[in-house]
Structure 1
Amino acid sequence: MPLGRAIDDPGLLTEGRVGVRIIRWSDADRLRQLLADNRSWLERWEATHPSGRSVVPGSVSMRPTVRVLRRQLRAGSGMPFVVLLDGELVGQLSVSEISGGALQSCQIGYWVSQHAAGQGVTTTAVALVIDFLFASLGLHRVEICIRPENGPSLRVVEKLGFRHEGRRPSYIHIDGAWRDHECFVALREEAGAGYVARLRAD
């Protein structure tokens, strides 16, 4: 079950050149353009519908999607962030499946544009958000599931020291087929001084 309450907007969270903030209505056009411009970069990793009726990201307005994502924030079931590099919007980071009660957990997914890749942007964005989820929301567990072929995403969880829990066969329909995913987990009691602090110490 969700947290059972709305989640307050945390404002802008930053570390160095990287920032994250809750998605705004004004982000819709920029996100659509990024998705359209990065088709060859992103499509291999994007969720698809088993029926084959998936909408190609970037081909339609993002405004309905922004509406749905912001509704999750009010419902306490998700946190829709955008990722910034030097103040420029370069991707998204979604906290989904937020559960309260006895579970206190969530899942994280993300993407960044090709021109922002390889600069530690995703790793820093994930660290910022996890620190918020543990310190401010009081969550116990954060999970990231990654295709075993996705080397850049695997490096994110490796740098942050996530625990590998194993493989989930045929877990999510991605790029037209059911794909295996590796499951990685961060636990609050193992976070120490926090994940941003881990990056600073490297």
Structure 2
Amino acid sequence: MSVELAVGARVMVRQVRRDDEARFVKLARASSAFHRPWVALPESAEQFATYLARFDEGDAVGMVICLREGGDIVGTVNINGIVRGCYQRGTLGYAAFLPYAGRGYVNEGVGLAVTYAFEELRLHRVEADIQPENSASLRLVQRLGFRKEGFSPGFIRIDGVWRDHERWARTADHVY
């Protein structure tokens, strides 16, 4: 049973669940070269189980972006590192799956996830850390109203390599 967190014109976002494993892993494997060096997604049952377990701790929400028509998974979006108290912030992670990349589905889905973060999770701030060479991801956050706040060398370890990232953010009270 699907429980939508947010619904848009062409896609919806819902929590990722155990029965997504086969399709998610298949799409991640097929998209592996496309994702590197930007992100490493679970490509085995064991990796998927570890991935799902992250979302049981309460400091992250894992979602899939699905077509409204037919329901296939077109991408993934997470709100990671949620900090409450005086911060009320979280950090985005997202990726498109082939063959759906470049069609605007992930842009719509990430926008829905950001709205969900502000309205349902009651976060004040959503951040995105992006490798400077990832022009598609930089365009996505710019379209969604994020502003560049800085640069961090060797910021996130992906596939065993510490990679530089630009830091982008948007706040709930920012007027667009």
Same fold (TM over 0.5): yes
Give the whole-Å Cα distance in 2 for the aligned partners of 1:133 and 1:57.
Answer: 24
- Runs of 5+ unmatched residues, structure 1: 1-8, 48-55, 193-202
Q: Deviations over 1:64-87 (max 9, x none)?
A: 235403413xxx211110111232
Which residue identity is paired with 1:150? N
In the alignment, structure 2 segments of 5+ residues that lack a partner are: none
Count how many residue pairs are aligned between Structure 1 and Structure 2.
173
Deviation at 1:91, TM superposition (A): 2.0
Return the structure number with greater helix share: 1
How far does residue 176 in structure 1 lie from its aligned partner after superposition? 3.8
> Which one has the bigger strand percentage?
2
Please report how far the alpha carbon of residue 180 of structure 1 lies from its aligned counterpart in structure 2 after TM superposition. Answer: 0.8
Matches within 5 A, 1:13-24: 13-24=6-17
Whichever of the two has the greater Rg, that structure is 1
Identity across the alignment (%): 35
Tell me if the contact between 2:5 and 2:116 (Cα under 8 Å) persists in the aligned partners.
no
User: What is the CA–CA distance in structure 2 between the aligned matches of 1:70 and 1:82, rounded to whole Å?
Assistant: 13
Change (3 A) 1:130 1:57: closer
With normalisation by structure 1, the TM-score equals 0.78
Question: How far did 1:40 drift?
Answer: 1.2
Shift in Å at residue 12 of structure 1?
3.9
Larger relative contact order, structure 1 or 2 (CA cutoff 8 Å, min sep 6): 1
Contact 2:42 2:48 in 1 (8 A): no
Identify which of 30, 38, 45 aligns with 1:45: 38
Q: Distance in 2 between matches of 1:147 and 1:66?
A: 22
Give the whole-Å Cα distance in 2 for the aligned partners of 1:66 and 1:177: 19
Aligned to 1:4: none
* Equivalent residues of 1:18, 1:83 under 8 A apart: yes
RMSD across aligned C-alpha pairs, in angstroms?
2.0
